[in-house]
Structure 1
Amino acid sequence: MTENIELTHQKLRAFQPQKLSAPRGFIIPKIINENKDDIPLVLEIGAGKGKHALSFVAQSPDKHLIAIERTRNKFEAFAKLAALQGSTNLDAIHADAIAWTVHAIQPNSLAKIFILYPNPEQHNPNQQWLNMPFFEFLLSRLQVGGEVVLVTNIEAYMDNAEQQATKVWCLPNTRYKVAADSQRTHFEVKYLARGETCWELSMFKPKGYKTRFDGWSIENTGEEK
């Protein structure tokens, strides 16, 4: 971990990736180690049954998506659909996203990160993504100019995320209302059909952004790479 650097963000509490074990059955997708053509690498956290992931890879053949889902029954449904679709630019991963990202993703390697309709954690706000120290590590994996897309139907969640993005993480960001005919996930279809407003926050990593983990890799057990 890099010490004594001037961080771009204002998050005081530091994430401790060295304490996380690799998920059971952990395998690094071939694209991570063999991306000779520099194909843009995209990460989706909480892919559910894969509606967005399968649509994304079909519409973006020039990008490679790694879509992670922790819940077994959702992942199994996703994996079956992925096998039927047969897209070569998709890796469906059954794992905890935090531990998997720590062990698999290298610094400055992701072009985009999707976090679509996460658990709002209304009784445990410390577990909301932008409140977590892990978000700093996630930003260290993002390329300069890379984007994090967060979507929710909970306005209070979005209000907090927007405030955290601006004041704590110091990220340029824009907040949108999701179009009424959008159908990226099963949750999105359900919420919009009920007439609810869904919110999207688009955050970008600016040039010169500094985190504690910019040179950190699990391969060297916490020492700077």
Structure 2
Amino acid sequence: MTENIELTHQQKRAFQPQKLSAPRDFTIPSVIKNSNSNMPLVLEIGAGKGKHALSFAAEHPDKHLIAIERTRNKFEAFTKQFEQRLPDNLTPIHADAIAWTVHALPPNCLTSIYLLYPNPEQHNLNQQWLNMPFFEFLLSRLQIGGTVILATNIDTYMDNAVEQASTVWALPNKRYKIAIESQRTHFEVKYLARRETCWELVMTKPQGYKTRFDDWCANNV
């Protein structure tokens, strides 16, 4: 058993959650407020038009997914599909994911986090998820044994993510080639139809893992 894992990142610039304002019209979903709920809580950042979110909710009735999308037109398309099905274990959120996560989620509340085909930010590498100071805060919201699932069709993005996961974040991880028949998101369908290689990285938060935000909560959480 590993105890008190020290992050290389803790020697670098820290994320500053106290400087972020809550999103417009912000409310905390009842599934988070209800501390008596035993349903595992899952987060998807960048849900797009909701293809993965809706499928996940249907396939995992024992889990509750919070799916965040910032872009208005994608979120509206997501909402239309959601309203046709109204799964009670899915909560769509239209907001900036960083500000929303800071103000809505308490520490140690998530069992999984999905980052499926994020913007590769090839001209601003500091904005890739595992390069951002915010990633440490995100890990503080994840339970021990929980997973972060990242998917991309960009080889260099995946190569960097594997290196960062191992050397900076000290996360046990496995890299997989995504099966050609997979259809989790609209991007995944498009890329695989082009015969592009898509990759998935599964990172696990190990026993004894510590971040600088394990005890930090926004005033409204």
Tell me if TM exceeds 0.5.
yes
The residue identity in structure 2 corresponding to 1:21 is: S
Q: CA deviation at 1:89?
A: 0.3
CA distance in 2, matches of 1:56, 1:7: 32
Q: How many residues align?
A: 216
SS at match of 2:25: coil
User: Which stretches in structure 1 are left out of the alignment for 5+ residues?
Assistant: 1-5
CA displacement at 1:81 relative to structure 2: 0.5
**Superposition deviation, residue 59 in structure 1:** 0.3
Matches within 5 A, 1:37-48: 37-48=37-48
Select the residue among 6, 31, 37 that pairs with 1:8: 6
Deviation at 1:7, TM superposition (A): 5.9
Partner residue in 2 for 1:155: 155
Tell me how far apart the structure 2 counterparts of residues 75 and 8 of structure 1 sit (CA, whole Å): 38
**2-structure distance, mates of 1:157, 1:77:** 28
Structure 2 SS opposite 1:92: strand
Structure 2 residues without counterparts, runs of 5 or longer? none
Measured at CA, do residues 196 and 53 of structure 1 come closer, stay the same or move farther in structure 2, by a change above 3 Å?
A: same
In structure 2, distance between residues paired with 1:15 and 1:207: 23
Instruction: State whether residues 65 and 89 of structure 1, in contact with CA within 8 Å, keep that contact through their aligned partners in structure 2.
Output: yes
Contact 2:31 2:37 in 1 (8 A): no
Residue deviations 1:117-136 (CA, integer Å, cap 9, x gap)? 00000000000000000000
For residues 196 and 99 of structure 1, the distance between their equivalents in structure 2, rounded to whole angstroms, comes to: 33
Which residue identity does 1:167 align to in structure 2?
T
Contact map agreement 1:7 1:212 (CA 8 A) in 2: no
- How far is 1:8 from its partner? 2.3
Match of 2:142 in 1: 142
Distance in 2 between residues matched to 1:127 and 1:171, nearest whole Å: 20
C-alpha distance in structure 2 between counterparts of 1:66 and 1:106, whole Å: 14
TM-score between both structures, scaled by the size of structure 2: 0.96
| Residue 13 of structure 1: how far off its partner (Å) | 1.4
Deviation of the 1:173 alpha carbon: 0.2
| C-alpha deviation, 1:35, in angstroms | 4.1
- Pairwise CA RMSD: 1.2
For residue 9 of structure 1, report the CA deviation from its aligned partner.
1.2
